[in-house]
Structures are given as structure tokens and as C-alpha cells.
Amino acid sequence: MADTCRSRHGARETAFQVLYGLSYSGAPTEKALEKAFAKAPVALKGKEVELVSDEPYPEQDIQGFGWELTRGVWEKRDELDEIINRFSQHWRVSRIAKIELTILRLAVYEMLYRDDVPTKVAINEAVELSKQYGDENSKGFVNGILDAAAKALEHGEIGFHQGR
């Protein structure tokens, strides 16, 4: 179990690095997204990666988990930004630092689209990434927005809550 958690954390970190890097380059094609993911240094270090756009990886495959996060967040970023906007009091998405915005997108995506990831885990992983990559205020900022989003999810105000 610990290995799976560590691996998933690495996959999240890889997704974060790829998405953060691409946030400076506009809207790349899916091929560019695949290339960036394949070159990512954390979860995939020393592993051979073969990406096929039309075929999802098996769920238990850590590379597949990381790729699904990367691709899913990139494809749903406008929807995710609307949700983040809703819960980031007095902060428009355009004003949120790219590090925190990328972390928030990852967590909100997991909360909405990954039934195998409990909401609390998505929040905790986001807080850990914010400690690692953000400044001293990142953790509280990220946690506050995600806590509000989690409550809205639980009450059926956003997404489709399935009793997580």
C-alpha cells in the first residue's frame, strides 16, 4: 500500500511538473503534452514510457495514473478554473500564481473525476505539493480553497458526489 501511495504521489508530482511547465507555453497539442510527460523527471525516471492517445493505461499502472491526471487536467482546465474561481474569495484565477493554480487544478480534477481517490487524499496531496513547491502561504491558500470545494462537492453543489 505504501508503495502505491508513494508511486501515486510521484505520478501527481510528475503531472504537476508537466502542467506547470506547459502553463508558460500556451495551448500545446496533445502530442506536445505526451512528449512533455514522457520526459518528466519524477515518477517516470528510469522507466520506459509508451504513450498512445486513444488507449488509456490500465488503472493500476502508475504511468497511466500520471498520464490520466496530466491529460485530464489539461482538457478540463477551463471547467476546473471556474470551480477554483468560485471558491477563491477575492482571487481571480488570472491572479493566482501558476504553482498554486496548477496544484489546485490537479486536486479539483481528482475530487471530481477520480472515484478511486478520496477527497481527503486529493486535498492532502495538494497540500504536500504546495509545501514542496510553493511559498510559506501556499499551504493555507490551497487548503482553504480545496476545503470549500470539498464541502460544495459533498453537498452536491458541484460535480457528482458518490459518497466519498
Give me the count of residues in the chain. Answer: 164
With a cut of 70, say whether residue 147 has pLDDT above it: yes
With a cut of 70, say whether residue 141 has pLDDT above it: yes
Contact 50, 57 (CB under 8 A): no
**What are the angstrom distances between the C-alpha of 138 and each of 50, 80, 90, 115, 143?**
34, 18, 16, 26, 8
pLDDT given for residue 30 in this prediction? 83
Domain positions in the chain are: 2-154
With a cut of 90, say whether residue 2 has pLDDT above it: no
With a cut of 70, say whether residue 105 has pLDDT above it: yes
Least confident of 54-63, 93-102, 133-142: 54-63
pLDDT given for residue 131 in this prediction? 97
Rounded Cα distance between 38 and 34, Å, is 6
With a cut of 70, say whether residue 134 has pLDDT above it: yes
Contact 67, 51 (CB under 8 A): yes
pLDDT given for residue 35 in this prediction? 86
Please report, to the nearest 10 degrees, the dihedral formed by the alpha carbons of residues 140, 142, 111, 80 taken in order.
160
With a cut of 70, say whether residue 163 has pLDDT above it: no
Query: CB 18: neighbour CB atoms within 10 A?
Result: 28
Nearest to 68 by CA among 81, 80, 59: 59
% of the chain residues with pLDDT over 70: 80
Q: What is the CATH number of domain 2-154?
A: 1.10.940.10
pLDDT given for residue 122 in this prediction? 97
Residues 24-42: tens digit of each pLDDT: 887 678 888 888 888 886 5
